[in-house]
Chain A
Amino acid sequence: MLQKTKDTVKKKKMPLETKAFIIFSCALPVIGWLVFYMYVNLDSFLMAFTDKSGVFTLENFVRFWEELSKPNTVLRVAFKNTFLTFGINLLCFIPRVLVSYFLYKRVPGSKVFRVLFMIPAMVFSVALNMIVLRLLGVYGFVAQGVQEMMNLDYVPELLADDRFANITVLLHMVWLGFPGDLIIWGGTFARIPEEVLESGKLDGVTWWTEFTQIIVPMVWPTVALQLVLTFCNVFGASGSVFLLTKGEFGTMTLSAWMYLQVYNMTVGHSNVFNYMSAVGVCLTVVAVSISLIIRKYTDKAFSDVEF
């Protein structure tokens, strides 16, 4: 009898409407992914091994290696700045989480801060950077402050001077990125059950104990995930390079360089897509290696993550 029931369950066919619903739900996303992700990346990979006329060559990789081995080439500067930006982002990771934590703990004024901290996300980055560009100009108090501080006999053009441009772009990134990802962290802290914290309070736990022994362990899966994602996107690290300096004055990063290759092509400059693809392949190989190492060492933390 039991065997018969099992067989019936096994043989139970999916209703036609359910099949239709699955096809309705999955067809477009899968087709879209195959065309706009798989095909594009495969094409990009093949482009790395061909020249403009489609003939197989390793010239793009040779050129990349040559550029990397020469001092002060744009790509070398881009590598240096990308790692610098990544390092600073990593250092800012904990402070950015703490911003959301203190907003969650409702420090005085938190409701106002919650809105004002979204200004960098709310205002067009184009508009915001236009304003910042004027404020950092030679008539601005920042440039004049730098002149006094460094005892210069001229007011420096902070974003048009090799000595200051990169540090200005990085500080600009730290300043505007101060609140971190309020959406992700706000959602994470909001999900901590009030009862857990209340019972901790009844037991007389201090702020520090609550933070280190209740909050941090509870949000750890999200911290681990975000940290791993930050490491995986090492070559995507960049400030507002395009809008502030277009990569000039020693501020180039790898992602800005890649964007500029496509942008320059649209405004009629040379087409270096094949070379760009080769650079992309090399970066992917390095990023994948980093990612696998990180995954290996954070496996314990990662296994607790539920999405």
Chain B
Amino acid sequence: MKLFSSFKRRSKVEIALYCFVSIIFAAVAFSYLYLLIWALLAGLRMHTEIVMDPFGLPTVLNWKNYIDVFKLLKVGNKNFWDMFFNSVYFSIVPTLIRQFLIMTFAYCCTRYKFPGSTLPYTIIMIMLTLPLYGRGGAQYILFSRLNLIDSYFYPFAAIGDAFSMVFLYYRAYYINMTGAYMEAAKIDGAGDFQCYFRIIIPMTKPLFGAMFLTGWLGEWNSYEGALIYLPSLPTLPVGIYQFNTEMIYQARLDILFAACVIVAIPAIILFTAFNKLITTSVSVGGLKG
């Protein structure tokens, strides 16, 4: 009955519309789920079975494939755990750096009045509406000069991302934040650093959490940067990409799809758990009225 709770106090036209929309949504959602189920089942089959009949069901459930992933998913001399470590490191470190820098920067520019405090907002608006193209080559050369390629210092390039859309999310949050706590703390003798670390950061937790999770997910799933800038330190997406490319010599589709399922698990768990936080904490553009 809970499923139809939205029908309370609705007209017949509305109920019909909602049912129609639900059917469309169900079809699309099923198609997405099908991809995961197919990969899950493919990971339970033998390689030859997948090649001969990609849409068949497994005759024997080879759960062993899901264990073998940890041994057989290799790229060069890097095994699964090396790639897992790289994925965790190259997704968490830049996201933490980026989010902390932007949060602090946005807070400072929103709540303090000093010469140039409104400039970042203007610059970001210009950057967003007047995009520049073709910087990939120059960026590669710079990263190469700074020895960031194939380096565990690569995530520190995230300090260049403070002038971005994320700044606007934090800015909107701080504009609407009440200043009462800050004033009370200042009357009690708290300094700027104390106020920021003891009051503002805890108050920004919901937005920081949402931004960190979406940022982390983007980095965790990303292959574009890692494929170019971290050729000897492959992350899991790059590992899977290269494993697929190298399969010309030793085909193991069963391992490939088992790996696809395993690497999706952390993101699925986190996203399902924090779905509400992520989809309701972020806003940009404002409301009228």
Contacts and interface: CB of A to CB of B under 8 A. Distances in A.
Contacts, number: 350
Given A21-B108, A25-B105, A229-B129, A44 B191 contact: no
B201 interface: no
Interface in B109-133: 109, 112, 114, 120-121, 123, 127-133
A223 B288 CA distance: 11
Contacts of A125: 221, 223, 237
Contacts of B38: 131, 135
A43 B138 contact: yes
Given A184-B284, A305-B285, A107 B21 contact: yes
Contacts of A130: 240, 244, 256-257, 260
A25 B131 contact: no
Contact of A183 (B133, B278, B289): B278
Interface string A264-290: 011000001110111111011001100
B135 A44 contact: yes
B160 A126 contact: no
A41 B6 contact: no
B84 interface: no
Interface in B24-56: 25-26, 28-29, 31-33, 35-36, 38-39, 42, 50, 53-55
A262 B39 contact: no
Nearest to B207: A187
Contact of A186 (B25, B135, B238, B279): B279
B264 interface: yes
Contact of B139 (A40, A201, A222): A40
Contacts of B157: 36
A196 B227 CA distance: 49
A235 B264 contact: no
B284 A120 contact: no
Contacts of B168: 307
Which size bracket describes the interface of B in this complex?
35 or more
B4 interface: yes
B141 interface: yes
A288 B130 contact: yes
A200 interface: no
Contacts of B162: 28-30, 32-33
Nearest to A255: B133
Interface residues of A, number: 122
Interface stretch (A2-10, A110-118, A148-156, A162-170): A110-118
A127 B140 contact: no
Given A116-B32, A124-B263, A307-B121, A47 B137 contact: yes
Interface in A10-62: 14-15, 17-18, 20-22, 24-26, 28-33, 35-37, 39-41, 43-44, 47-48
Contacts of A118: 271, 275
B250 interface: no
Contacts of A217: 288-289
A119 interface: yes
B17 A201 contact: no
B241 interface: yes
Contacts of B136: 258-259, 261-262, 273, 276
Contacts of B240: 124, 126-127, 130
Interface of A: 14-15, 17-18, 20-22, 24-26, 28-33, 35-37, 39-41, 43-44, 47-48, 99, 102, 105-110, 112-128, 130-132, 134-135, 137, 139-141, 175, 178-179, 182-184, 186-188, 190-192, 196, 201, 206-207, 217-226, 228-229, 232-233, 235-236, 242-243, 254, 258-259, 261-263, 265-266, 272-274, 276-281, 283-284, 287-288, 291-292, 295, 304-307
Pairs A-B, 3 closest by C-beta atoms: A280-B134, A36-B160, A273-B137
Given A135-B38, A284-B132, 13 more contacts: A14-B114, A21-B192, A28-B101, A109-B3, A126-B240, A219-B288, A229-B128, A229-B129, A236-B133, A258-B136, A273-B141, A287-B131, A306-B285
